[in-house]
Chain A
Amino acid sequence: AQTVTQSQPEMSVQEAETVTLSCTYDTSENNYYLFWYKQPPSRQMILVIRQEAYKQQNATENRFSVNFQKAAKSFSLKISDSQLGDTAMYFCASQIQGAQKLVFGQGTRLTINP
Chain B
Amino acid sequence: GAVVSQHPSWVICKSGTSVKIECRSLDFQATTMFWYRQFPKQSLMLMATSNEGSKATYEQGVEKDKFLINHASLTLSTLTVTSAHPEDSSFYICSAHPRGLRVHNEQFFGPGTRLTVL
Contact = CB atoms under 8 A, between A and B. Distances in A.
Contact of A44 (B41, B104, B109): B109
Contacts of B93: 43, 45
The B contact surface, by secondary structure, is: strand
Interface string A69-85: 00000000000000000
B109 A95 contact: no
A106 B106 CA distance: 20
A52 interface: yes
Interface residues of B, number: 21
Interface in A42-71: 42-47, 50, 52
A100 B104 contact: no
Given A45-B95, A91-B44, A102 B107 contact: yes
B49 interface: yes
Given A33-B104, A43-B111, A50-B106, A102 B91 contact: no
B90 to A, nearest CB: 12
A52 B106 CA distance: 12
B44 A100 contact: no
A46 to B, nearest CB: 8
Contacts of B41: 109
A93 to B, nearest CB: 9
Nearest to B106: A47
A100 B97 CA distance: 8
Interface in B15-50: 32, 34, 38, 41-46, 49
Given A44-B109, A107-B43, 20 more contacts: A33-B105, A43-B91, A43-B93, A43-B111, A43-B112, A44-B112, A45-B44, A45-B109, A50-B104, A97-B105, A100-B32, A100-B34, A101-B34, A101-B49, A102-B44, A102-B107, A103-B46, A104-B43, A104-B45, A109-B41
Interface of B: 32, 34, 38, 41-46, 49, 91, 93, 95, 97, 104-107, 109, 111-112
